[in-house]
Amino acid sequence: MKKLFSSLAAVVLILGIFAPSVLADSHDQNAMVRVLHASPDAPAVDVYLNDEAVVEGAEFKAATDYLEVPAGEHTVEIYAAGTKGEQDPVISTTVNVEAGMAYTAAAIDNLENIQLKAIQDSTEATEGMAKVRVGHFIPGAPAVDVGPIGGDALFSGAEFPMVTDYLEVDPGSYDLEVRTTDGTQLIDLSGTNLEAGKVYSAFAVGTADNPEVLLLQDSAAMPTMMPATGFGGTADSTTNAWMYAALLGVLAMGAGFMLTRKRSEA
Amino acid sequence: MVRKVSPLALGLLVFFISFQMLNEEPAEEPRVLSTSETTRTQGVEVKESLVSDQLEKATIEQNYTPAVKASSEQSGITPDRIQIPSINVDASIKALGYTPEGGMAVPKNLIDVGWFEPGTMPGNQGNAVIAGHVDGNSGPAVFYDLKDLQPGDEIYVYGDNMKLTFEISRMESYPYEDAPIREIFGPTNSHSLNLITCTGAYDKEASTYSERLAVFSVLKDQQKL
């Protein structure tokens, strides 16, 4: 909990270099990718994956939910909104995604130096604990610590454009702050609610003068299978039971009539 | 008189006894005699492939949700009651966790619904999940009419002296073994509530229905009571 994570220890995976895949469920042929617009002075953008629009008109600070894409290499092109076909993309690159893995593809830095940063996201929640990591996507801002206001840093020395390792913390409400390594508060995050079984990425975005934090969910506690929510009592089989029972009932009735008639004749 | 009544009574008796016997499930609860098809999936579009659906369309604006800030308002509640006026559901909510196999536990009775407590609280950012039975051994259960819901219908969830209103955005049926668990239970930027019940044909071998109906809804309003 109190363990410090230096920016050097941060897991920042460069495009195309990803950890071996661990197949989790039956959707494992696919990877999950979400897109984050973290370039403070870039216009709204359209994101194309293999020439198909997957996001349109995403503005600074917008994040998509995870989209499922087939594993493998994909061409990612980001255009200023509505300019595909008229202008060159602001970013054109390829990403390689592995089945069963989740990634954040973040457009970072100022427009002048805009680049796509791909990060691998955790898909594993820890029961009863919250997991959180911090990304520094504020171009021109100094290295930062993140921790309770006035308290020991949970994450320290995160530099642009690094993303720290995940840290397990007790669930609950935290009065956190993002501060420079010499203690000057940059962002007040009082009342940050971290739920048990959730995995979060807190991405600091914006400019040095106007910094903000986006808290995204990377994963959550999930069951391994869907609930069993029916016993079949209204399926057609019930009708069959009715029919058989009715048939037997009619037979018994007939038998009963014959018996009583015989008896009365006797 | 007795002569005429007794065969009738005998017939009825045989009918009821045989119906009970035929309709009874051996040992474990979720079993029944036949695997015949039902028409329960009518009106619910089966999603064939999530991927092609997302990639082939020109745009997928429904997947684009503005990000939220750390300080964004969390209105999560510990739910104790759910009401769905359009299908006359008014049920008590039990907080439940995992089955021994790691699946989602469900209420033991047919009138309550179960909230997946290790997941998201209704109202918070994320996918809160509530499941209920479609039927019991011999008749409908609390979520029998879930299939009749329509996008736009409202769901009310009560708890902690709050009333949350969710609006249904879409409904999907998935094969039991191949449902997108992460899409239903996993992370999202929106404040969602997803309802689950059984649908499709009853699979005798697996002692469960072959499909699951998922009703996706998004927080629309919250009210202090």
The predicted structure's pLDDT at residue A26: 43
Which of A87-96, A251-260, B43-52, B89-98 is least confident? B43-52
**H or E element at residue A205:** strand A198-206
Q: Is the pLDDT of residue A125 over 90?
A: no
Q: Is the pLDDT of residue A92 over 80?
A: yes
Q: Is the pLDDT of residue A5 over 90?
A: no
More confident residue, A28 or A161: A161
**In sequence order, which residues have a C-beta less than 8 Å from that of residue A183 and are 6 or more positions away?**
none
What tens-digit pLDDT sequence spans chain B (225 residues)?
556 677 777 777 777 776 665 554 433 444 334 434 333 333 344 333 333 333 333 333 333 444 444 435 567 899 999 999 999 999 999 999 999 999 999 999 999 999 999 999 999 999 999 999 999 988 899 999 999 999 999 999 999 999 999 999 999 999 988 899 999 999 999 999 999 999 998 888 778 899 999 999 999 999 998
Q: Do A213 and B70 lie within an 8 Å CB cutoff?
A: yes
Predicted confidence (pLDDT) per residue in A218-230, tens digit: 999 999 999 999 8
- Flag whether A2 is in a domain: no
Q: Is the ipTM of this complex over 0.90?
A: no
Which of A237-241, A254-258, B140-144, B156-160 is least confident? A237-241
Which among A197, A213, A237 is the nearest to B32, CB-wise?
A237
Judged by phi (left if over 0) then psi (alpha if -120 to 50, else beta), residue A94 lies in: beta
Distance (Å, rounded) from C-alpha B135 to C-alpha A66?
A: 33
**What confidence category does residue A248 fall into, taking pLDDT thresholds of 50, 70 and 90?**
confident
The predicted structure's pLDDT at residue B56: 37
User: What residue ranges define each of the domains in chain B, with the CATH number in brackets?
Assistant: 36-63+74-224 (2.40.260.10)
> Which domain covers residue A165, as residue numbers?
7-220
The predicted structure's pLDDT at residue A38: 96
- Flag whether A229 is in a domain: no
Contacts of A246 in chain B (CB under 8 A): 15, 19
Which of the listed ranges A22-26, A60-64, B50-54, B201-205 does the model predict with the highest average pLDDT?
A60-64
On the 0-12 / 13-18 / 19+ scale of CB atoms within 10 A, B51 is middle
- Flag whether A257 is in a domain: no
Distance (Å, rounded) from C-alpha B111 to C-alpha A200?
A: 35
**H or E element at residue B16:** helix B2-23
Distance (Å, rounded) from C-alpha A83 to C-alpha A89?
A: 8
Provide the number of structural domains found in chain A.
Answer: 1
- Flag whether A191 is in a domain: yes
Structure tokens at B59: 């745009």
Q: What is the dihedral sign for C-alpha A21, A24, A29, A32?
A: negative
- Flag whether A242 is in a domain: no
Contacts of A28 in chain B (CB under 8 A): none
Which among A67, A216, A242 is the nearest to B67, CB-wise?
A216
Which among B38, B55, B131 is the nearest to A227, CB-wise?
B131
- Flag whether A136 is in a domain: yes
Q: Is the pLDDT of residue A116 over 60?
A: yes
**Distance from CA of residue A212 to its chain's centroid?**
20
Contacts of B61 in chain A (CB under 8 A): 56
Q: What is the dihedral sign for C-alpha B69, B70, B75, B77?
A: positive
Decide: A235 and A170 in contact? Cβ < 8 Å. Answer: no
Distance (Å, rounded) from C-alpha A144 to C-alpha A134?
A: 10
- Flag whether A251 is in a domain: no
**Chain A nearest CA to B179, separation (Å):** 7
Structure tokens at B29: 């609860």
